[in-house]
Amino acid sequence: MALVATNGIRLEVHEHGTGPAVLLLHGFPGTSYSWRHQIGPLADAGYRAVAVDLRGYGASDRPEAAYHDSSVIEADLIGVLDALGIERAHVVGQDFGSMYAWNLAQQHPDRVRSVLGTVPHGGEPGPVAPSVGFAAVAARHFLHLHYFQEQGLAERDLGGPHLAEFLRRLIWALSAGGDLLSVFGHPSAGTSYLDALPPTPPLPWSWLAQDELDTITSSFAAGGPGRELAGGLQAYRAADADWALARQRAGTPIGQPSLLVMGEHDPVRSFAPPDLEQQRTWLTGLQDVVLVPQAGHFVQQEQPAAFNDVLLRWLSR
Protein backbone atom coordinates (compact mmCIF):
# COMPACT_ATOMS: atom_id res chain seq x y z
CA MET A 1 0.00 0.00 0.00
CA ALA A 2 1.09 3.56 -0.61
CA LEU A 3 -0.18 7.11 -0.34
CA VAL A 4 -0.30 8.59 -3.84
CA ALA A 5 -0.36 12.35 -4.38
CA THR A 6 -3.06 13.36 -6.85
CA ASN A 7 -5.27 16.37 -7.52
CA GLY A 8 -4.06 18.19 -4.40
CA ILE A 9 -4.70 15.32 -1.98
CA ARG A 10 -3.27 11.90 -1.08
CA LEU A 11 -5.09 8.64 -1.75
CA GLU A 12 -4.18 5.28 -0.32
CA VAL A 13 -3.63 2.75 -3.08
CA HIS A 14 -3.23 -1.02 -2.74
CA GLU A 15 -1.40 -2.74 -5.61
CA HIS A 16 -0.71 -6.38 -6.27
CA GLY A 17 0.57 -8.19 -9.33
CA THR A 18 1.92 -7.21 -12.72
CA GLY A 19 0.38 -7.02 -16.15
CA PRO A 20 -2.60 -5.08 -17.53
CA ALA A 21 -3.95 -2.77 -14.83
CA VAL A 22 -7.39 -3.29 -13.28
CA LEU A 23 -8.56 -0.23 -11.34
CA LEU A 24 -11.00 -1.20 -8.55
CA LEU A 25 -13.41 1.49 -7.29
CA HIS A 26 -15.47 0.94 -4.16
CA GLY A 27 -18.78 2.44 -3.10
CA PHE A 28 -20.50 3.32 0.17
CA PRO A 29 -20.13 1.82 2.68
CA GLY A 30 -16.79 0.53 1.48
CA THR A 31 -13.09 1.10 0.96
CA SER A 32 -10.34 -0.64 -1.00
CA TYR A 33 -10.92 -3.49 1.49
CA SER A 34 -14.15 -4.19 -0.41
CA TRP A 35 -11.95 -5.82 -3.08
CA ARG A 36 -10.02 -8.14 -0.73
CA HIS A 37 -11.41 -11.22 -2.51
CA GLN A 38 -10.45 -9.93 -5.98
CA ILE A 39 -6.94 -8.52 -5.56
CA GLY A 40 -5.16 -11.87 -5.14
CA PRO A 41 -7.02 -13.73 -7.90
CA LEU A 42 -6.44 -10.85 -10.31
CA ALA A 43 -2.72 -10.88 -9.59
CA ASP A 44 -2.59 -14.67 -9.91
CA ALA A 45 -4.29 -14.38 -13.31
CA GLY A 46 -1.62 -11.97 -14.60
CA TYR A 47 -3.16 -8.59 -13.85
CA ARG A 48 -2.02 -5.56 -11.88
CA ALA A 49 -4.80 -4.99 -9.32
CA VAL A 50 -5.06 -1.37 -8.15
CA ALA A 51 -7.61 -0.74 -5.37
CA VAL A 52 -8.05 2.85 -4.23
CA ASP A 53 -9.48 4.39 -1.07
CA LEU A 54 -11.44 7.23 -2.66
CA ARG A 55 -11.25 10.71 -1.14
CA GLY A 56 -13.02 10.81 2.21
CA TYR A 57 -12.54 7.09 2.88
CA GLY A 58 -10.08 4.86 4.72
CA ALA A 59 -6.53 6.18 4.95
CA SER A 60 -7.01 8.68 2.12
CA ASP A 61 -7.32 12.40 2.79
CA ARG A 62 -10.74 13.70 3.79
CA PRO A 63 -10.85 17.33 2.60
CA GLU A 64 -13.39 19.59 4.26
CA ALA A 65 -16.11 20.21 1.68
CA ALA A 66 -19.89 20.17 1.50
CA TYR A 67 -19.61 17.82 -1.46
CA HIS A 68 -17.45 16.89 -4.41
CA ASP A 69 -18.95 16.16 -7.81
CA SER A 70 -17.82 13.22 -9.89
CA SER A 71 -15.46 15.32 -12.01
CA VAL A 72 -13.30 15.73 -8.89
CA ILE A 73 -13.17 11.96 -8.46
CA GLU A 74 -12.27 11.56 -12.13
CA ALA A 75 -9.34 13.97 -11.68
CA ASP A 76 -8.26 12.04 -8.57
CA LEU A 77 -8.24 8.77 -10.51
CA ILE A 78 -6.45 10.10 -13.57
CA GLY A 79 -3.80 11.42 -11.18
CA VAL A 80 -3.46 7.95 -9.66
CA LEU A 81 -3.01 6.36 -13.09
CA ASP A 82 -0.42 8.99 -13.98
CA ALA A 83 1.47 8.54 -10.71
CA LEU A 84 1.59 4.78 -11.19
CA GLY A 85 2.63 5.02 -14.83
CA ILE A 86 -0.55 3.34 -16.07
CA GLU A 87 -1.53 4.48 -19.54
CA ARG A 88 -4.78 2.50 -19.79
CA ALA A 89 -6.72 0.37 -17.32
CA HIS A 90 -9.69 -1.90 -17.10
CA VAL A 91 -12.02 -0.19 -14.60
CA VAL A 92 -14.31 -2.06 -12.21
CA GLY A 93 -16.76 -0.20 -9.97
CA GLN A 94 -19.24 -1.09 -7.23
CA ASP A 95 -22.06 1.21 -6.00
CA PHE A 96 -20.80 4.84 -6.33
CA GLY A 97 -17.68 3.29 -7.85
CA SER A 98 -19.83 2.19 -10.80
CA MET A 99 -20.90 5.76 -11.51
CA TYR A 100 -17.27 6.86 -11.34
CA ALA A 101 -16.27 4.00 -13.64
CA TRP A 102 -18.92 4.90 -16.25
CA ASN A 103 -17.94 8.57 -16.05
CA LEU A 104 -14.22 7.87 -16.31
CA ALA A 105 -14.82 5.77 -19.42
CA GLN A 106 -16.97 8.52 -20.95
CA GLN A 107 -14.68 11.44 -20.20
CA HIS A 108 -11.30 9.73 -20.59
CA PRO A 109 -11.81 7.02 -23.20
CA ASP A 110 -8.10 6.96 -24.00
CA ARG A 111 -7.35 5.81 -20.42
CA VAL A 112 -10.02 3.10 -20.07
CA ARG A 113 -9.72 -0.28 -21.83
CA SER A 114 -13.01 -1.70 -20.58
CA VAL A 115 -15.49 -0.97 -17.81
CA LEU A 116 -17.51 -3.20 -15.49
CA GLY A 117 -20.12 -1.83 -13.10
CA THR A 118 -22.48 -3.32 -10.52
CA VAL A 119 -25.03 -0.49 -10.79
CA PRO A 120 -26.75 0.40 -14.09
CA HIS A 121 -25.79 3.53 -15.99
CA GLY A 122 -28.11 6.33 -14.86
CA GLY A 123 -29.03 7.40 -18.39
CA GLU A 124 -29.81 10.90 -19.53
CA PRO A 125 -30.57 13.28 -16.63
CA GLY A 126 -34.15 14.48 -16.27
CA PRO A 127 -35.31 18.10 -16.17
CA VAL A 128 -35.62 18.34 -12.36
CA ALA A 129 -32.75 18.39 -9.87
CA PRO A 130 -32.57 15.20 -7.77
CA SER A 131 -32.97 17.03 -4.46
CA VAL A 132 -36.43 18.17 -5.56
CA GLY A 133 -37.47 14.58 -6.17
CA PHE A 134 -35.88 13.45 -2.91
CA ALA A 135 -37.91 16.02 -0.97
CA ALA A 136 -41.15 14.99 -2.67
CA VAL A 137 -40.62 11.33 -1.75
CA ALA A 138 -39.53 12.23 1.79
CA ALA A 139 -42.85 14.04 2.26
CA ARG A 140 -44.47 10.59 2.07
CA HIS A 141 -41.94 8.40 3.87
CA PHE A 142 -38.32 8.14 5.00
CA LEU A 143 -35.78 8.40 2.21
CA HIS A 144 -32.08 8.12 2.99
CA LEU A 145 -31.19 10.17 -0.10
CA HIS A 146 -33.09 13.14 1.37
CA TYR A 147 -31.96 12.47 4.93
CA PHE A 148 -28.30 12.67 3.89
CA GLN A 149 -28.65 16.14 2.38
CA GLU A 150 -28.73 18.10 5.66
CA GLN A 151 -25.25 19.03 6.85
CA GLY A 152 -24.47 17.65 10.29
CA LEU A 153 -27.56 15.48 10.70
CA ALA A 154 -26.17 12.13 9.57
CA GLU A 155 -22.81 12.98 11.14
CA ARG A 156 -24.55 13.29 14.52
CA ASP A 157 -26.94 10.36 14.16
CA LEU A 158 -24.62 7.80 12.58
CA GLY A 159 -21.08 8.64 13.68
CA GLY A 160 -19.24 8.29 16.97
CA PRO A 161 -20.81 5.70 19.26
CA HIS A 162 -23.42 4.82 16.60
CA LEU A 163 -20.96 4.05 13.81
CA ALA A 164 -20.46 0.30 14.31
CA GLU A 165 -24.18 -0.38 14.68
CA PHE A 166 -25.05 1.77 11.66
CA LEU A 167 -22.51 0.04 9.40
CA ARG A 168 -23.58 -3.42 10.53
CA ARG A 169 -27.24 -2.68 9.91
CA LEU A 170 -26.67 -0.97 6.56
CA ILE A 171 -24.35 -3.68 5.24
CA TRP A 172 -26.83 -6.39 6.24
CA ALA A 173 -29.82 -4.50 4.78
CA LEU A 174 -28.07 -4.16 1.42
CA SER A 175 -27.09 -7.83 1.30
CA ALA A 176 -29.07 -10.72 -0.15
CA GLY A 177 -30.36 -11.63 3.32
CA GLY A 178 -31.42 -8.13 4.30
CA ASP A 179 -34.38 -5.86 3.60
CA LEU A 180 -33.28 -2.34 2.73
CA LEU A 181 -36.67 -1.47 1.28
CA SER A 182 -38.24 -1.75 4.73
CA VAL A 183 -36.71 1.63 5.61
CA PHE A 184 -39.28 3.26 3.33
CA GLY A 185 -42.02 2.15 5.72
CA HIS A 186 -40.95 4.77 8.28
CA PRO A 187 -42.00 8.43 8.41
CA SER A 188 -39.36 11.05 7.68
CA ALA A 189 -40.05 13.26 10.68
CA GLY A 190 -37.85 12.37 13.62
CA THR A 191 -36.40 9.25 11.97
CA SER A 192 -32.69 8.68 11.60
CA TYR A 193 -31.33 6.15 9.14
CA LEU A 194 -30.24 4.01 12.08
CA ASP A 195 -33.81 4.06 13.43
CA ALA A 196 -35.17 2.92 10.05
CA LEU A 197 -32.70 0.10 9.42
CA PRO A 198 -33.83 -3.28 10.81
CA PRO A 199 -31.71 -5.23 13.32
CA THR A 200 -29.31 -7.85 12.01
CA PRO A 201 -28.72 -11.51 12.83
CA PRO A 202 -25.58 -12.20 14.88
CA LEU A 203 -22.25 -12.47 13.15
CA PRO A 204 -20.65 -14.31 11.46
CA TRP A 205 -22.85 -14.25 8.39
CA SER A 206 -22.24 -16.61 5.49
CA TRP A 207 -20.03 -14.00 3.81
CA LEU A 208 -18.83 -11.64 6.56
CA ALA A 209 -16.97 -12.37 9.80
CA GLN A 210 -16.74 -10.14 12.86
CA ASP A 211 -13.09 -9.31 12.25
CA GLU A 212 -13.92 -8.21 8.70
CA LEU A 213 -16.67 -5.92 9.95
CA ASP A 214 -14.27 -4.59 12.59
CA THR A 215 -11.78 -3.75 9.84
CA ILE A 216 -14.46 -1.93 7.84
CA THR A 217 -15.62 -0.01 10.92
CA SER A 218 -12.06 0.97 11.85
CA SER A 219 -11.42 2.33 8.36
CA PHE A 220 -14.40 4.68 8.71
CA ALA A 221 -13.60 5.60 12.34
CA ALA A 222 -10.13 6.70 11.20
CA GLY A 223 -11.66 9.94 9.97
CA GLY A 224 -12.27 11.10 13.53
CA PRO A 225 -15.38 12.57 15.16
CA GLY A 226 -17.82 13.98 12.62
CA ARG A 227 -15.69 12.81 9.68
CA GLU A 228 -16.27 9.07 9.82
CA LEU A 229 -18.70 9.05 6.87
CA ALA A 230 -17.25 12.03 5.00
CA GLY A 231 -16.68 10.30 1.68
CA GLY A 232 -20.15 8.82 1.40
CA LEU A 233 -21.99 11.89 2.64
CA GLN A 234 -20.10 14.18 0.27
CA ALA A 235 -21.02 11.86 -2.59
CA TYR A 236 -24.71 11.84 -1.66
CA ARG A 237 -24.70 15.62 -1.26
CA ALA A 238 -23.26 15.97 -4.75
CA ALA A 239 -26.49 14.67 -6.31
CA ASP A 240 -27.53 18.03 -7.76
CA ALA A 241 -24.00 18.90 -8.86
CA ASP A 242 -23.61 15.50 -10.54
CA TRP A 243 -27.00 15.99 -12.23
CA ALA A 244 -25.88 19.37 -13.60
CA LEU A 245 -22.61 17.83 -14.76
CA ALA A 246 -24.44 14.99 -16.48
CA ARG A 247 -26.65 17.48 -18.32
CA GLN A 248 -23.53 19.15 -19.71
CA ARG A 249 -22.15 15.78 -20.81
CA ALA A 250 -25.37 14.32 -22.21
CA GLY A 251 -25.16 12.71 -25.60
CA THR A 252 -21.68 11.24 -25.28
CA PRO A 253 -22.01 7.43 -25.25
CA ILE A 254 -19.55 5.04 -23.64
CA GLY A 255 -18.08 2.95 -26.41
CA GLN A 256 -15.56 0.74 -24.61
CA PRO A 257 -16.45 -2.90 -24.01
CA SER A 258 -18.65 -2.88 -20.89
CA LEU A 259 -20.41 -5.33 -18.61
CA LEU A 260 -23.04 -4.93 -15.90
CA VAL A 261 -22.84 -7.47 -13.06
CA MET A 262 -25.46 -7.29 -10.29
CA GLY A 263 -26.48 -9.43 -7.36
CA GLU A 264 -29.76 -11.19 -8.04
CA HIS A 265 -31.11 -9.80 -4.76
CA ASP A 266 -29.57 -6.33 -4.96
CA PRO A 267 -32.25 -3.88 -3.74
CA VAL A 268 -31.10 -1.45 -6.43
CA ARG A 269 -32.85 -3.73 -8.93
CA SER A 270 -36.18 -2.74 -7.34
CA PHE A 271 -35.90 0.90 -8.40
CA ALA A 272 -33.29 0.73 -11.17
CA PRO A 273 -33.95 -2.54 -13.02
CA PRO A 274 -31.31 -3.10 -15.70
CA ASP A 275 -32.76 -3.27 -19.20
CA LEU A 276 -30.13 -4.50 -21.64
CA GLU A 277 -31.40 -2.65 -24.69
CA GLN A 278 -32.02 0.58 -22.76
CA GLN A 279 -28.55 0.41 -21.21
CA ARG A 280 -27.09 0.03 -24.70
CA THR A 281 -28.43 3.49 -25.49
CA TRP A 282 -25.67 4.89 -23.26
CA LEU A 283 -23.26 1.94 -23.11
CA THR A 284 -22.84 1.20 -26.79
CA GLY A 285 -20.19 -1.42 -26.02
CA LEU A 286 -22.33 -3.24 -23.46
CA GLN A 287 -21.89 -7.00 -23.84
CA ASP A 288 -24.33 -8.36 -21.27
CA VAL A 289 -26.12 -7.99 -17.94
CA VAL A 290 -25.11 -10.77 -15.53
CA LEU A 291 -27.14 -11.55 -12.39
CA VAL A 292 -25.21 -13.41 -9.69
CA PRO A 293 -27.42 -15.74 -7.61
CA GLN A 294 -27.55 -15.43 -3.82
CA ALA A 295 -25.90 -12.01 -3.89
CA GLY A 296 -27.14 -8.58 -2.92
CA HIS A 297 -25.55 -5.16 -3.34
CA PHE A 298 -22.05 -6.32 -2.30
CA VAL A 299 -21.90 -8.90 -5.07
CA GLN A 300 -18.09 -9.13 -5.13
CA GLN A 301 -17.99 -9.82 -1.38
CA GLU A 302 -21.12 -11.94 -0.97
CA GLN A 303 -20.31 -14.32 -3.83
CA PRO A 304 -16.62 -13.75 -4.54
CA ALA A 305 -16.01 -17.02 -6.42
CA ALA A 306 -18.89 -16.43 -8.82
CA PHE A 307 -18.00 -12.76 -9.26
CA ASN A 308 -14.33 -13.53 -9.86
CA ASP A 309 -15.24 -16.11 -12.46
CA VAL A 310 -17.32 -13.52 -14.34
CA LEU A 311 -14.63 -10.85 -13.91
CA LEU A 312 -11.72 -12.99 -15.11
CA ARG A 313 -13.66 -14.38 -18.05
CA TRP A 314 -14.59 -10.82 -18.98
CA LEU A 315 -11.03 -9.53 -18.78
CA SER A 316 -9.72 -12.49 -20.79
CA ARG A 317 -11.78 -11.33 -23.77
Q: Which amino acid is it at 221?
A: A
Selected catalytic residue, list 69, 95, 242, 266: 95
Judge contact between 93 and 25, C-beta under 8 A.
Answer: yes
Where do runs of H (alpha helix) occur along 121-209? 130-138, 144-147, 153-158, 163-174, 193-196
Residue 242 bears catalytic tag: no
Beta bridge partners of 51: 14, 24
Residue 26 bears catalytic tag: no
C-alpha 12/C-alpha 53 separation (Å) is: 5
Beta bridge partners of 52: 13, 25
Q: List, by residue number, the catalytic residues.
A: 95, 297
